[in-house]
Amino acid sequence: MYESFFGFKERPFQLVPNPSYLFLSRSHEEALAHLAYAVSQGDGFVEITGEVGTGKTTLCRVFLENLDQNTEAAYIFNPKLDSVQLLKAINDELGIGSDENTVKGLTDRLNFFLMEKKSQGKKVILVIDEAQNLTKDVLEQLRLLSNLETTTTKLLQIILIGQPELADILDSHELRQLGQRITLSYHLVPLTFKETREYIRHRIRIASRKAGIRFTNGAFRAIYRYSGGTPRLINIACDRAILTAYGLNRFKITGSIVKASIRELAGRGDVRSLGFPGKKRAFVLLSIFCVALLFIAFFPFGKIYNSFFKAPEVTERVSSQIRPSETETPGIEENLAEDQEGGDIATAEVTADADEDVEKSPDASAGLPAPATEQTLEAFLESMDTRTSRNMALRIALELWETEAEIKEYLDKLEDTQAFFRLGAKQNGLLIYRYEGEFEMLNKLNLPAILEVYSSANISPGYITLVQTDGRTVRLRGGKDDVRVDTESNEVVFYWSGVAYVPWKNFFGYSGAIPRNAPDDSIITLKMILRDIGFDGIEMNPVYDEHVQEIIEGIQEKNGLRVDGVVGPLTKIILYNQLKSLDIPHIIKE
């Protein structure tokens, strides 16, 4: 419908598992690596799980298409079969006769085939998609198939791909024998915001004959909010947004266009069309209800009725929500709509004066200074380059630790950013912890952190230092001229890659991961710290006893760390933060 208008060879966001459109996120790369490793080893079961729409089937087909000539595969994609039907399907896929009607007869034929392939130096794998639909009897039959072996190797490698409930099924008591044979497992996760943006660009690039369409950063954010990073939902939102833009004769897809498209999806009664994770959905619905009340209070009812209950054709319907200008340049109304529509898009204030006292505690009633426009933050990030921004970000972080920052010139030539930060911190008496995860954990660590960020215009990352927060708003510093940025934490998340470099100081020098590989004096130092914090009943000896482990596990649980009783860098940071006598530059001001 819109292909020729935008210069597409085909629709870029079709809901079919086309391997040529595969976008390898970090999660997908790791899943493929697991599969490749499993085939190379050739034994046991492999389990790959992921939520609906995360790209399991596409991943599976890419994996099968890239098998070498020495590997034969049977692919079962409709596993709602009994044991006999499944064996027939496997034999059919492998080109074996399946006229037998008993489990034994079909298994004997399969075993003969597998022995023949083994003698030829070939491997045989069985891939079952949507494996959560297998009955327990059929899963038990698969376990028996895995018994087809020689004295040294398995004859059949079995890969199960399914939704998360597959893991629960395999963990059940009835299938414990099968569960024990799972040698590799991996869970696919949704895309990050950065990956969502690259995924959209990737599919458009594959489908395009020429450059004829552009998504703004506001559009990327709206799509990510809707989809939560799930590829299938991204495809749905993008396809509808492109159709909407086509109806408006637009080549630029803005946040307003995406939001209007999502409202159309919501109008179809799709429960997931709001696209928010389950934990946020109630809050979002409540917010929508409050906004609706405000509209009723301040706008004539007739306009509301016309906007929400009439359903004309695509062009008319969207035009009532977005005012198209006569040219491709958006007008003032459109800019305002994209910045303000929905009420939840954060804005930012960029201040050139970075000499203000950032140690001053924010006013609890007012938060950080009122932000200005989101374009300002976007433009600020676009002006960054990797080397200059990482140098300034590290200098700022070191200064907050009250060290006279000295970064050797040769470090700027390093391509490896992690090595740059690690060596630069080491030269100034600090350590660097590379953190990858949720933004909320940075608040718990309560230390200045160097954030890896991407603007919509830059492929290479920039770096900016988180210097202060009150939980809702944050203060950032960075850029060539040490610019200060006050913004909301939700806004930062959209530009943040999920990676941060946290400088920290090992004040008492206790080394190793306690108790795995730490010397005795490190255990004694740990016990002294725990006693200084206020814990009782600690015996001063080099034994990491059960009482100390319970204390550490309690601290880890309280601070959202993995509860394993092992004192690594994150746990050490949390412990140091509890010692009031130390001079530590906390980002949360008391």
Any idea what the CATH number is for the domain that residue 451 is in?
A: 3.90.70.10
DSSP string, 297-363: HHS-HHHHHHHHH----HHHHHHTTS---SSSS--HHHHHHHHHTTS----EEEES---S-TTSPPB
For residue 64, what pLDDT is reported? 92
What does the pLDDT read at residue 558?
92
Whether 151 and 83 share a structural domain: yes
Please check whether residues 98 and 163 belong to one and the same domain.
Answer: yes
8 Å CB contact between 81 and 139: no
94 is a domain residue? yes
Last residue of some domain: 213, 244, 267? 267
Question: In this predicted structure, what is the pLDDT of residue 276?
Answer: 43
Q: Are residues 85 and 214 both part of a single domain?
A: no
> What's the pLDDT score for residue 20?
83
Query: Which pLDDT score, from 0 to 100, does residue 102 have?
Result: 93
Helix or strand run (H / E) with residue 501: strand 496-504
How high is the pLDDT of residue 303?
39
Together in a domain, 219 and 184: no
In this structure, the answer to whether residues 560 and 528 fall within a common structural domain is yes
Domain residues for 234?
1-15+192-267
Cβ atoms within 10 Å, residue 520 = 11
Domain annotation covers residue 363 = no
Whether residue 124 is found in the same domain as residue 235: no
Residues of the chain short of pLDDT 70, as ranges, are 1, 210-211, 267-376, 456-459, 590
Q: Which tens digit of pLDDT belongs to each residue from 294-317?
A: 544 544 444 333 333 333 344 434
- Indicate if 57 and 174 belong to the same structural domain: yes
State the pTM of this model.
0.50
Single residue among 457, 475, 504 that ends a domain in this structure = 504
- Is 175 a domain residue? yes
Domain membership of residue 513 (yes or no) is: no
CATH number at residue 252: 1.10.8.60
Last-in-domain residue among 221, 252, 267: 267
Which domain CATH number covers 564?
1.10.101.10
Residue 185 bridge partners (DSSP):
47
d(CA 284, CA 214): 28
pLDDT digits (tens, 9 = 90+) for 411-431: 888 888 899 999 999 999 999
pLDDT, residue 398, reads 93
The pLDDT assigned to 97 comes to: 79
Q: What is the pLDDT of residue 218?
A: 83
142 and 208 inside one domain = no
Domains of the chain: total: 4
Are 39 and 167 in a shared domain?
yes
| 532 and 436 both lie in a single domain | no
Q: Give residue 327's pLDDT.
A: 34
Written as one letter, the residue type at 185 is S
Are residues 181 and 198 both part of a single domain? no
What's the rounded Cα separation, in Å, for the pair 334 and 337?
5
> What is the CATH classification number for the domain harbouring 115?
3.40.50.300
| Residue 247, in any domain of the structure | yes
pLDDT, residue 376, reads 63
DSSP H or E run through 1: none
Indicate whether 302 belongs to any domain.
no
pLDDT at 311: 35
317 located within any domain: no
pLDDT for position 292: 54
77 domain-assigned: yes
125 and 238 inside one domain? no
User: Please, which residues have CB within 8 angstroms of residue 122's CB and are 6 or more apart in sequence?
Assistant: 70, 71, 72
